Amino acid sequence: MRRLAIAAALLTGMAQTPALAADSPSAATSSLAKATFAGGCFWCMESPFESLDGVVSVTVGYTGGTKVNPTYEQVSAGGTGHAESVQIVYDPAKISYQKLLDVFWHNIDPLTAEAQFCDHGHQYRSAIFFHDAAQKKLAEESKRALEASGRFKQPIVTEITAASTFYPAEEYHQHYHTKNPVRYRFYRLSCGRDSRLRELWGDKPS
């Protein structure tokens, strides 16, 4: 995988951040909320949310699997059950979960199972990890609305499942698009992400 080779060059001396439980109070204060999404390469899922008013932070990491404290290499190789994901801390008084869902949908390919763009495997599946019953209801409603819209002839295969422990990725992966803009743009272009998003949604990807 192109991205694994790029990341390997940056590994030296990098430590992994401790895991955050799905309901960890350290991730947000009581006035804030969390949203967790998987949409393939987590480098590419960070920037669409960072620019939104009301979003406090975006962390890339791994969730949905069974391996405790997984490394990037372990997740990329498959077998951990985890998906590359982003966890968003946001202020519900400034931005709604519905808005986050809308941004999520427009930055993924909801028609392809076990893959996103050039990355293939269960670790690159698209998924919405809900943190409570309200998020589950809104996620399911948004998926049904998309299905009923008639935009797609194929079924939407994006998973909707309960959030579990989220393991932040190694520090060199955080904000990769700003730390390594040339490598990031090369990867995104060579992966065909933006061309596929335009094909699916007709508008310019974030």
Q: Which amino acids are annotated catalytic?
A: 41
Helix runs in 51-153, H state only: 72-77, 97-105, 133-148
* Number of neighbouring beta carbons within 10 Å of residue 34: 24
Distance of alpha carbon 96 from alpha carbon 37, whole angstroms: 15
Helix spans in the chain (H): 2-8, 42-50, 72-77, 97-105, 133-148, 176-179, 181-190, 193-201
Which residue bears the tokens 């968003």? Answer: 88
Reported as half-sphere exposure (CB side, CA atoms, 13 A), residue 101 has a value of 21
Structure tokens at 107: 């930055």
Residues in the chain: 206
Comparing C-alpha atoms, which of 170, 166, 176 is closest to residue 43? 176
Give the whole-angstrom CA distance, residue 2 versus residue 7. 9
Structure tokens at 199: 């094909």
